[in-house]
A and B are shown apart, each in its own frame.
Chain A
Amino acid sequence: MYLKELSEIPGVSGDEDKVRNFIRERIESKLDEIRIDRMGNLIGIKKGEKSNGRLLLVAHMDEVGLMVTKINDDGTLSFAPVGGVDPRVLPGKKVRVGEDKLGIVGYKAIHLQKSEEIKKPPSYENLRIYMGFSSKKEVEKEVEIGTYVSFLTKYTEENGRATGKAFDDRGGCSILMDIIDLNERYDFDVYFAFVVQEEVGLRGSAILMEQLHPDVALVLETTTAGDNPEIPEYQWATHLGDGPVITFAHRGYVADKRVFQVLIETAVKHGIPFQMKRRTAGGTDAGRLARRGRGVPAGVISIPARYIHSPLSIMDLGDYRNTFELVKKVVEDGKIMEEVSG
């Protein structure tokens, strides 16, 4: 499991180099071929014994974050989100500006706010990053317009649960790396794609189909739990501890029925707990893959996590292990390949 290391690497959409290097170094020797494509997707290939089919496994390397849009006269930075970040999760948080500079997302102290001010959510128009500088000139030595800003959260484990940033989708990346570590060779080719720029609109995965022409695609994601106590249970998206999440439909795509059913059958057959994704909001690379090239039957397996798209999320390590088990069995059994070729 590489979740700790992966989680602590900064890699906001479009700036995935460090994540890619980390993964590449660890998978290179275990695969038959490795390449980085024109958008920066890292693709690893394990040739099959019989090589009569192609299974594509996908996880995205990028995480949501921020980007500097303007350096203000007072030495503060204005910024915009990269991917979906609720401005309410930002005030008072530490951030990494550029390579290694520390910043703080400022806010007005509670003492100075009127009650109606407190009730109003912060907006990107009002938020600033403070780096300890007091003039534009000083800041300009360190920061440029377009400098990436990422969350800065150390990974911890407690009570069987992990906390950290960027679990979406370093969780999926880590599972793919675990599968590669098994060093197994299957009947069919397995393509491992660690893709860029998912969070800004499923962009990296858009060029996979023309390169790989897979027969089946399986997307490994980290998905919303939404099992907050204030939400009634019948509105939860998923629940921590209930196992890997299988998607039947999400924004813009209904998961291929055959793939969906194989995932369920595999979990049942091997006694792996699983749950359904019980909301249809949000999309994944599966929707992009199905629409490109000749199309592909695609499915999604996710690890549930609370508070994704914020500086801090929580994942159940049992869910992580069971997700790994499920993916491992799906690939080992190979039924997923039979289903779509039949």
Chain B
Amino acid sequence: MRELVKKLTEAFGPSGREDEIRNLILEEIKDHVDGYKVDKVGNILAWKGQGERKVLLDAHMDEIGVVVTNIDENGFLRIEPVGGVSPYTIFRKRIRFERVTGVIGIEGETPDEIEKNLSKMSFDKLYVDIGAKNREEAEKLAPIGSFGVYDSHFVEVSGRFVSKAMDDRIGCAVIVEVLKRVKNSDITLFASFSVQEEVGLVGASVVAYDIMPDEAIAVDVTDSADTPKAIKRHPMVLGKGPAIKVMDKASISDKNILEKLINTAEKKGIPYQMEVLIFGGTNAAVLQRTRYGIPSATVSIPTRYLHTPSEMVEPSDVEGTIELLASYLEGG
């Protein structure tokens, strides 16, 4: 699983530019499913099993990123966020475009001005230095409209996984593993790896239209509030297992699914934790509202430092999530 997580998180795939990650996932799942397709907007939809009851597991394959909006005469790039990238997070980090890597700098003609720009940061004050000597050179390497992601690599620290894009490649990894493991199930399992979640749940809004499953479970990351002076009202921590989401800002999980998930965990002795997130949302919000409605819920992997180049997860939580979902689908 470590290798899978490393491979998936290091892949390039900001919202709307999911080709690389899509191919990687297809490669991983194609021998373990009965069929798959890539739909009109670029979602992967795979299926396995012949049962009457249809269950959809969804993880989004896109990650947050930036896009080049302007280039000045000296070859410095201007960028805007694609999804929830904070200028405070990105400052002084490296950004990887498809052909070149750049460093983020900040404007300031005087120390006072730099101080001011640092305290009230905005993308308008930041630039990317890709080492280009002039506009022409920059336009060749990263033309306007080029997408970039954090330049960050997978590392294992004290047994924990750290990388960019755990949100939501860790969810993708979970579903890939579930597809591999689920064998004797009397349901039809659908798995979607959806696009453009980070800019507004685009892919998941349409992915279930034709299949209209009996239930849908989004597998995504959630805030882990076990760091110094973290959000007091959040109960989620690393190491206590998958988080079964009751509510976030965008959806409330279907009660029946919640109950069944909890029963499965109890029966199988899988450690789990309950989740209420006071902000944020997952694809469950739009899956729920597809056509005449799909009962939907979210199972989350607690993650520290969300939307940064170093998102941290605990492997036992990931393993627990796989186990919980696989048992759930096998009617356990």
A-side interface residues toward B, CB under 8 Å? 215, 233-236, 248-249, 252-257, 260, 276, 278-280, 287, 290-297, 340
13 contacts between A and B (CB under 8 A): A235-B78, A249-B145, A252-B200, A253-B202, A254-B202, A257-B19, A280-B81, A290-B41, A290-B202, A293-B206, A295-B41, A295-B207, A340-B40
Contact with A along B55-72 (1 / 0, CB 8 A): 000000000000101111
A234 to B69, CA, bound (A): 8
Contacting pair B144 A278 (CB below 8 A) = yes
By CB atoms of chain B within 10 A, which of A254, A290, A292 has the most?
A: A254
Contacting pair B39 A294 (CB below 8 A) = yes
Contacting pair B145 A260 (CB below 8 A) = yes
A293 to B206, CA, bound (A): 6
A296 to B80, CA, bound (A): 25
Contacting pair A295 B144 (CB below 8 A) = no
9 residue pairs, one from A and one from B, having the closest CB atoms: A254-B16, A295-B206, A248-B145, A291-B205, A295-B41, A252-B200, A234-B70, A234-B72, A276-B144
Contacting pair A253 B200 (CB below 8 A) = yes
B210 contact set on A, CB distance < 8 A: 294
A67 to B81, CA, bound (A): 35
Chain B interface SS verdict (over half): loop
B196 contact set on A, CB distance < 8 A: 253-254, 290
A215 to B145, CA, bound (A): 24
Contacting pair A293 B209 (CB below 8 A) = yes
Contact with A along B183-223 (1 / 0, CB 8 A): 00000000000001001111101110110000000000000
Contacting pair B78 A234 (CB below 8 A) = yes
Contacting A235 at CB < 8 Å: which of B15, B19, B124?
Answer: B124
B80 contact set on A, CB distance < 8 A: 279-280
Q: A234-B78, A249-B82, A291-B205 known; A256 and B67 CB under 8 Å?
A: no
CB distance from A224 to the nearest CB of B (A): 13
Give the B interface residue count (CB, 8 A): 34
A293 contact set on B, CB distance < 8 A: 206, 209
Contacting pair B17 A254 (CB below 8 A) = yes
B145 contact set on A, CB distance < 8 A: 248-249, 260, 276
Q: A235-B70, A293-B209 known; A254 and B39 CB under 8 Å?
A: no
B19 contact set on A, CB distance < 8 A: 257
Contacting pair B206 A254 (CB below 8 A) = no
A295 to B38, CA, bound (A): 12
Residue of A nearest to B207 (CB): A295
Contacting pair B205 A295 (CB below 8 A) = yes
Residues of B285-307 at the interface with A, using a CB-CB cut-off of 8 Å, are 286
Contacting pair A296 B41 (CB below 8 A) = yes
CB distance from B207 to the nearest CB of A (A): 8
A290 to B72, CA, bound (A): 33
Q: A253-B196, A254-B199 known; A295 and B39 CB under 8 Å?
A: yes
A260 contact set on B, CB distance < 8 A: 145
CB distance from B63 to the nearest CB of A (A): 12
A290 contact set on B, CB distance < 8 A: 41, 196, 202, 205-206
Residue of A nearest to B198 (CB): A254
Contacting pair A257 B78 (CB below 8 A) = no
By CB atoms of chain B within 10 A, which of A253, A256, A290 has the most?
A: A290
A256 contact set on B, CB distance < 8 A: 16, 41-42
Contact with A along B77-105 (1 / 0, CB 8 A): 01011100000000000000000000000
A236 contact set on B, CB distance < 8 A: 70
Residue of A nearest to B17 (CB): A257
Q: A253-B200, A290-B206, A296-B40 are in contact. List 11 more A-B contacts (CB 8 A).
A: A215-B40, A235-B124, A252-B200, A254-B17, A254-B82, A254-B196, A256-B16, A291-B202, A295-B40, A295-B43, A295-B207
CB distance from B80 to the nearest CB of A (A): 5
Contact with A along B24-41 (1 / 0, CB 8 A): 000000000000000111
A287 to B210, CA, bound (A): 20
A276 to B80, CA, bound (A): 14
Contacting pair A294 B209 (CB below 8 A) = yes
B201 contact set on A, CB distance < 8 A: 291
Residue of A nearest to B195 (CB): A254
Contacting pair B199 A278 (CB below 8 A) = no
CB distance from A340 to the nearest CB of B (A): 7
Contacting pair B69 A294 (CB below 8 A) = no
Contacting pair A297 B70 (CB below 8 A) = no
